[in-house]
Structure 1
Amino acid sequence: MNQDTLTSTARELVAPAKGILAADESFSTIGKRLASIGVENTEENRRSYRDLLFSTPGVEAYISGVIMFEETLGQRTSEGKLFTEALTERGIIPGIKVDLGAKPLALHNNELVTSGLDGLRERLVGFREQGARFAKWRAVITIGDGIPSEACIVANAHALAHYAALCQEAEIVPIVEPEVLMDGGHDIDRCEQVTSRTLGEVFTALRRHDVLLEGILLKPNMVISGTESASQASISEVAERTMRCLLRNVPAAVPGIVFLSGGQDDVLATAHLNAMNGLHVDTPWELSFSYGRALQQGALKAWGGKPEQFAAGQKAFFQRAKANSAACSGRWDQGLEKTA
């Protein structure tokens, strides 16, 4: 592997005040998004929606990279240019989701392990030839009665590390995404405990696989109350707990942490990121975003699948990206939302 290529790409992805657009929804997930605005889930409609996001004027000032679904990697803009080429020309790095989804973990009810390692080496070579310079693999950890088990955490950490090693072999920067889900009635204490356990095991596995930490990015959940918890932590508590957990578990060699939004609404995800960057803690890594729904929600509604609303959708996406860019340096506030 070329260590210089990996480290330089990783640092480009977490350039100051920039973050990553996660547009890697599967066929079923993008279908639900389109259905919410009354649009049929066809290849052309999926292409048109991604084109809206990727071609938004000026968004390269705030977006460093885009994670794509495999179908999208081979699609083209309305002008006939490959998305990968159009993004690269604007200084936005193309990326690809490579996992094949979470499957039931054998002998462990209500727990999942991510699949997709079989044949991944060959798939990565093809993705690199298509222009992808980074990749993403998501592991899912559920909090519930008696779970997560050690078996679930260890199995997912091993898969993440194996995937990361294969990516680096192909000179593709791996985004390592261990997501402790928000779903459930657990409080923030339980989330912090499970997130700490998970991150500790993930970095142990990465070291065992000789993964170059300077050539990865971490995409974790925030330490946050369960969606059904009677006690919802404040924005400041989420920021403080998350930073404490990361400082205890993430090595300084990692160049950047790009949070997932995990089902938070767009403004709350921005507020949490802003609060973390406003703590003025001396962190060794960049703190940024790799949001999906929290970047796209407003754009999807503004577009509504109507050609005449294409520009309105792009404007909404631009404003959301700009807001999160400000949050990367703790400069966002609610006034920016009113202005937008």
Structure 2
Amino acid sequence: MNAHALAATAQALVADHKGLLAMDESSGTCRKRFVEQGIEDSEAMRRAYRELLITAPGLAESVSGLILFDETLHQAHADGTPFVALIERAGMIPGIKVDLGAKPLAGHPGETVTEGLDGLRERLQAYAAKGARFAKWRGVINIGEQLPSRAGIAANAHALARYGALCQEAGLVPIIEPEVLMDGAHSLARCAEVTERTLQAVFAELAAQGVLLEGMLLKPNMVTAGAASPSQGSLEAVASATLACLRRCVPAAVPGIAFLSGGQSPELASAHLNAMHQQGPLPWALTFSYGRALQQPALAAWNGQAANVAAAQQALLKRARGNRAACLGNYQQAA
């Protein structure tokens, strides 16, 4: 493990108020989103869409790195230039999603554990050889009347930590993503409680596995009420609850925290991030690692038509610039 190189990459990913574009949807998820827009699902169309995202002019002004899916890492521009080379040429850092998805946790109905540790060492070595410099693994935590259980949190925290250690062994910066889902009608306070328990468990496991904090990033959920809750907190309430939780749980040695959007609308995800940057100095860089909240306007504008590429790229750039503005605390929701 090269601690200096890992720390340098982690710092570069959160430098200059930039964030990450998560474009690591599996083929199944991509298919679902294409079907929603009436777009033909094929490898050629997925490649064309990902080319659109990667080559958006000026994307590197707001985005430091791109999280890719395995298929995308091996794809190339229509002119034959590998996507990884295009990303690096633009001044961005290529990354890769390495988990194999959340599966039911045996003996614990309603809970999942993310799989993919078997053979991960070899896959990480191959990804690094292909040009990836960081990776991502998502653990999923559900909130319910009796959920999450201690076992559910522990299983996911342990998997995240083992993945993190393997990443650093291979020279890749691990993005640690414990996501407490917005599904349900739980209160903001309940989300805060579960998020705090989850992060405490994750950092305890990271310490046990010897993960270098300076060479990783955290990708958590924001603390929000459940999507079905009749009482949604204000921007300021969400920002305060989220920052309180993070200050209690995340060591200052972690270079940066890059939020997932978790089903929030593009505008709301930006507004929440902006509100956090208006609540005083923070011990870590606080930024975004959004998927659908960055991509959805672009996907809708493109709609599978080559003639719409420029308009789709402008829709992506608008969201990316808005989120960088949020990291500076000057996002305007109508922008």
Q: What TM bracket, shorter-length normalisation? A: over 0.9
**Given residue 298 of structure 2, which amino acid in structure 1 is its aligned partner?**
A
Distance 1:286 1:263 in 2: 22
- Structure 1 residue 334 displacement after superposition: 2.4
SS at match of 2:37: coil
Deviations 1:151-193 (A, max 9, x none): 0000100000000000000000000000000000100010000
Q: How does 1:1-340 map to 2 (within 5 A)?
A: 1-280=1-280, 282-336=281-335
Distance 1:283 1:321 in 2: 22
Q: Indicate conservation of the 8 Å contact 2:222/2:242, yes or no.
A: yes
**Given residue 291 of structure 1, which amino acid in structure 2 is its aligned partner?**
Y
**Given residue 154 of structure 1, which amino acid in structure 2 is its aligned partner?**
A
**Runs ≥4 residues deviating over 6 A:** none
SS at match of 2:52: helix
**Given residue 164 of structure 2, which amino acid in structure 1 is its aligned partner?**
A
- Structure 1 residue 283 displacement after superposition: 1.3
> Can you give the 5+ residue segments of structure 1 that lack an aligned partner in the other structure?
none
Distance 1:242 1:174 in 2: 22
- Structure 1 residue 199 displacement after superposition: 0.1
**Given residue 277 of structure 1, which amino acid in structure 2 is its aligned partner?**
H
- Structure 1 residue 145 displacement after superposition: 1.6
Distance 1:157 1:274 in 2: 29
- Structure 1 residue 307 displacement after superposition: 0.7
Distance 1:108 1:138 in 2: 19
Distance 2:314 2:78 in 1: 18
Distance 2:185 2:331 in 1: 30
- When the two chains are superposed, the root-mean-square deviation of aligned CA atoms in Å is 0.6
Distance 1:58 1:171 in 2: 28
Distance 1:178 1:188 in 2: 17
TM-score by length of 2: 0.99
- Structure 1 residue 335 displacement after superposition: 4.0
- Structure 1 residue 33 displacement after superposition: 1.1
- Structure 1 residue 274 displacement after superposition: 0.4
Distance 1:274 1:160 in 2: 28
**Given residue 297 of structure 1, which amino acid in structure 2 is its aligned partner?**
Q
**Given residue 312 of structure 1, which amino acid in structure 2 is its aligned partner?**
A
Distance 1:78 1:318 in 2: 21
Distance 2:222 2:157 in 1: 18
**Given residue 92 of structure 1, which amino acid in structure 2 is its aligned partner?**
M
Deviations 1:40-97 (A, max 9, x none): 1100100000100000001110010000000000000122100001000111100000
- Structure 1 residue 35 displacement after superposition: 1.1
Q: Indicate conservation of the 8 Å contact 2:40/2:304, yes or no.
A: no
**Given residue 66 of structure 1, which amino acid in structure 2 is its aligned partner?**
L
TM-score by length of 1: 0.98
Distance 2:130 2:143 in 1: 38
**Given residue 286 of structure 2, which amino acid in structure 1 is its aligned partner?**
L
Q: Indicate conservation of the 8 Å contact 1:16/1:328, yes or no.
A: no
